[in-house]
A and B are shown apart, each in its own frame.
Chain A
Amino acid sequence: MTNKKVLKKGNHVIGAAAIEAGCEFYAGYPITPQNELTEYMAKHMVLNKRPFVQAESEVSAINMVFGASAAGARAMTSSSSPGISLKQEGISYIAGANLPCVIVNMVRGGPGLGNIAGAQSDYFQATRGGGHGDYRLIVLGPNSVQELYDYTMKSFDLADKYRIPVMILGDGYLGQMMESLTLHKYAKPKNLPKKTWALTGCKGRNPNVIKTLYLTPEDALEKHNLELNVKYEKIKKELQLFETINVQNAELVIVAYGTVSRVVKNVIESSDKKIGLFRPISLWPFPENALRNLKCKKFLVVEMSLGQMVEDVKLSLFGTDASVDLIARPGGMIPTEEEIHKKIKLMLK
């Protein structure tokens, strides 16, 4: 596969990227709007002589990934919101056990069964951990089919580098979207650590133990948490992914990620005012320094959830005299260009 330009569907592209990046195990379970990904894996993992499992539930799928990762494999699962909620217990264990894996969430409207439209309402769940305990995931929020391809590949490397679950936080619209992209070859970074911790049969070494239970001494669990935290702090320093457009001299900077950032790009192009875009790509860690360093004093957050990412924006700007406004559309609705223009007019009056 060499730098071929093709037209493909978002969900298929995630599968293609995972296989190109050497995904060695996939377990999934049907749920709209990510079925095309599971179905792609059902075909192409098998054609590539790699294991595909349709599990009996999302709980089963994430625990198979726990096992596959423990055995040293590059492992992935995918689902959409209700299914991702079910995976949370497993994700907490995988994070607590310092294991790598890739989890794809093509978010749909919630709470509960909600609907099957794309949404961003799992932002808190993804960036705050989601399951129980003090832990984090690396969370990436691509906004195009090309980025789904690129960041799916990158997520396997990040997972292995830091021994951490990485979540691709897409949404139903991105998954269903057809767009042209360039398929490029995967090159594995040379400096990835060896998986000396994996359960591969302990020939010539002491047995490895993978666990999340720390009972004694009394502070054993605190120590474990603090060690995890050292890793999280390191990731915060090393991984701050974002895109900016026209932020220099902007009177107003709009902060948006994923699907809705595409709407904002159109707004910026058609506006006669000096509007910039700050688009976080790593949602955890949130690119707080870059946002804080912008000179602008007026920010507008546009999100397809009822005020979730806006909290990270406010935390990033805490102590500055910048003001933060919000357009929030829940339930799978996409903010329109008109409503954003209208808000801009009000804010720049």
Chain B
Amino acid sequence: MQDYLTLLKLKKLPTTWCPGCGNGLVVKALAQAMHELKMNKHNTVIVSGIGCNGRSAGYFNLESIHTLHGRAIPVAEGIKTANPKLNVIVLSGDGDLLAIGGNHLLHASRRKTNITVICVNNRIYGMTGGQASPTTPLNAKTASTPFGNEFPEIDVQPVVLANNNLYARSTVYHFDHLKQVIKKALLDKEFSFVEVMSNCYQGYGKKAGYMHPYEIIMDFKKNYNMSRSHKKELKKNEIGFVKK
């Protein structure tokens, strides 16, 4: 058995997620990254928000806390501040972290609290049935935007970089890259944020005209290039990490 699997609750598999959902890949990438960095249940706490992705914490064989919708970051800051020896990792979705939790992100970033936030951005509210999130593309038709999304998406990169924190972006297609940037973030000693472009076929992809979750993942391959600079902001179609 591969050792990183000891970080997971294998008895709970298969997951409750839809077939082809990107969430599982992120769990795997994080578990492997943690294993390679020798992080374990004695020194790590996983904090989840609420949403499909928020269920991820339940698959880790680690101390974990399932928080309120949008409040994973302040709960994580509480844990880290009360017990600085712990590695504290937040794992949640775009709706949770950027809509209802957006204000907390601004302030944790400003405080530079030493936690790692992994935002699994499937550009939709998956759990509640496919309503628009702050990262849903302009004009997209969703359950709550039947005539097309009127508003542009939030760009989270400048929010994180404004305070010279680490910002990384990857996708569920670029699995090894994803693992590497998660490791970078976990090793960082300030606030770090990893945005993982993921897919929700059930809640969004189907409506957007995709025939299979695989097609969305292959679009990540087509649409994203690797950035080689770690000082310059990532362009819209780039993956990589930035720490100024």
Main secondary structure of the interface of B (DSSP, over half): loop
Known: A30-B125, A30-B128. A42 touches B99 (CB 8 A): no
Query: B66 contacts which of A42, A43, A54, A113 (Cβ < 8 Å)?
Result: A113
| A34 to chain B: closest residue by CB | B128
| B145 to chain A: closest residue by CB | A42
Closest Cβ of chain B to A21, distance in Å, is: 22
Count contacts between A and B, CB distance < 8 Å.
Answer: 48
Known: A32-B128, A46-B147, A82-B69. A56 touches B102 (CB 8 A): yes
B134 interfacial by beta-carbon distance below 8 Å: yes
- Hey, which chain A residues are within 8 Å of B144, CB to CB? 30, 38-39, 42, 54
Which residues of chain B from 117 to 132 have any CB-CB distance to chain A below 8 Å in the complex? 125, 127-129, 131-132
> Contact between A30 and B147 (Cβ–Cβ < 8 Å)?
no
Query: A30 contacts which of B66, B102, B129 (Cβ < 8 Å)?
Result: B129
Interface size grouping (class) on chain A: 10 to 19
| B132 to chain A: closest residue by CB | A54
Closest Cβ of chain A to B131, distance in Å, is: 4
Known: A32-B128, A82-B69, A113-B66. A43 touches B146 (CB 8 A): yes
Which residues of chain A from 9 to 37 have any CB-CB distance to chain B below 8 Å in the complex? 29-32, 35
A57 interfacial by beta-carbon distance below 8 Å: yes
| Docked CA distance A56–B95 (Å) | 8
| A56 to chain B: closest residue by CB | B99
> Contact between A35 and B128 (Cβ–Cβ < 8 Å)?
yes
User: Can you list 30 residue pairs at the A/B interface with Cβ under 8 Å?
Assistant: A29-B100, A30-B129, A30-B131, A30-B144, A32-B127, A32-B129, A35-B128, A35-B129, A35-B143, A39-B143, A42-B144, A42-B146, A43-B146, A43-B147, A54-B131, A54-B132, A54-B144, A56-B99, A56-B100, A56-B102, A56-B134, A57-B70, A57-B99, A57-B100, A58-B100, A82-B68, A82-B69, A113-B50, A113-B68, A113-B69
B residues with a Cβ closer than 8 A to A are 50, 66, 68-70, 99-100, 102, 125, 127-129, 131-132, 134, 143-147
Excluding A39-B143, A54-B132, 15 further A-B contacts by CB distance (< 8 Å) are A32-B127, A39-B129, A39-B131, A39-B144, A39-B146, A42-B145, A43-B146, A43-B147, A54-B144, A54-B145, A56-B100, A57-B100, A112-B68, A113-B50, A113-B68
